[in-house]
Each structure stands twice: as C-alpha cells, then as structure tokens.
Amino acid sequence: MLAAVSVADHWDSVYRNKADDELSWMRTDASRSLRLIGSPTNSDAAIVDVGAGTSTLVDHLVDDQWPHITLLDLSAAALEATCCRLADRCADVELVTGTILDWQPQRPYDVWHDRAVFHFLHGSEREWYVSTAAQAIHPGGRLVLATFAHDGPESCSGLPTQRYDTIGLSQVFGDHFALTHHEREVHVTPWAAEQPFTWAVLERRQVSRP
C-alpha cells in the first residue's frame, strides 16, 4: 500500500477535483446502512463511520439522534465538505482525519460502520484493522461492513482492492466476531456500472477466541 501521506493526498485530490456524482461509490440512499445499523439503544450510544468521506449517512444519524457520532477519514477535504453540509449540526459530530492504521479510538463503540475501507487493506493492515475494531467495539456491539464481492472490481479509484464473500469475512474476523447477518448488493455507479458488494453484520464476541 502507498505511504499514508501519499494515500491521503490521493484521496484529497479525488474529493477536491471530482463532484459527488463522479465518485463510483457515491449513493444518495443510505437506507441499507441505516437498516443494518438500527437505532441507538441507550442515551450514551456511540457509532463510528470508518471511511466516511462525503457520505450523507451522518445526516441521517444526526436526525436519528445518535448521542455520539465519530467520522473517520484520511481525507481532510472530504470531512471539511461534510462539515460544511451539516452546518451548525457539525458541532455534534467528532471529525477525525487519519488512517484506520494509526487511529486510536478514544471511546468504546456500539456500532462500527465501514462501507468500503476494509477491502483496500492487505496482509498486516487487515490484522491491525481487526484488532482495532475488536478493542473499540463493546461486547455485543456490531460491525457493519461492506466490501467488494468476489465478482466485484479488482481496483477502485486507481488503488487495488481485495474481494470477499461471507466465508472469507468470517475467517478474517472470526476470532473476535460472530457473523449474524449477510446480504449481497449490486451497487450501480453514477455512470450505470454495476459493482457487487458483500455486506456483513458481525457481533463482537463476549470473549475472544484463544
């Protein structure tokens, strides 16, 4: 993988030079994510959106009155655009600029949402991601994850990707998480290309496997 600073520059350039309808992953309908995330279950519930970009998911999370919302993205340009869109509601959202490989969560989370970061990671990067998620998510909390399916694209925005089915995701996360739900999505890009995704909901085990 490219050095972190190079990757950040890459994504800053993407978000600064392309409109939302020129981004292959952009979708205006966040209903699938919202359905799998569910509603906050207590007055201190916390959710993190990993690789938030300029997604409108956070707008709905604010509307749903999630008490603690964190957006993580290595593109400062993307988070700036999101904050401008949210306007005065941005004060209720924690914005973290950085890569998942050097982020240190400052609170435990009930839900971790990732709609396309994990499939960019390889080797030890995947292990680091799983370890970070396991430490950050409450026992009984959920990881809502979407990756390119086995018949999905081999690259995205000029970067190589890994592709997964539910068996593969269960193997990668199985020491700390149990697969509780999965589904397939064929995402249609703004230019009508089809991108198959694997969605998985993984529940944090009470005790990790030895």
Q: Where are the domains of the chain?
A: 4-17+43-178+186-204
Burial class (CB in 10 A: 0-12, 13-18, 19+), 89: middle
The CATH number for 4-17+43-178+186-204, chosen from 3.20.20.105, 3.40.50.1820, 3.40.50.300, 3.40.50.150, is 3.40.50.150
Query: Which secondary-structure segment (H or E) carries 34?
Result: helix 31-37
**Predicted pLDDT of residue 156:** 85
Q: How many CB atoms lie under 10 A from the CB of residue 130?
A: 20
Residue 1 has pLDDT above 60, yes or no: no
* pLDDT tens column, 161-199: 999 999 999 999 999 999 999 999 998 887 788 999 999
- Whole-prediction pTM value? 0.89
Q: Which residue has the tokens 């749903």?
A: 64
Write out pLDDT tens, residues 111-126: 999 998 999 999 999 9
Q: Encoding tokens for residue 135?
A: 């430490």
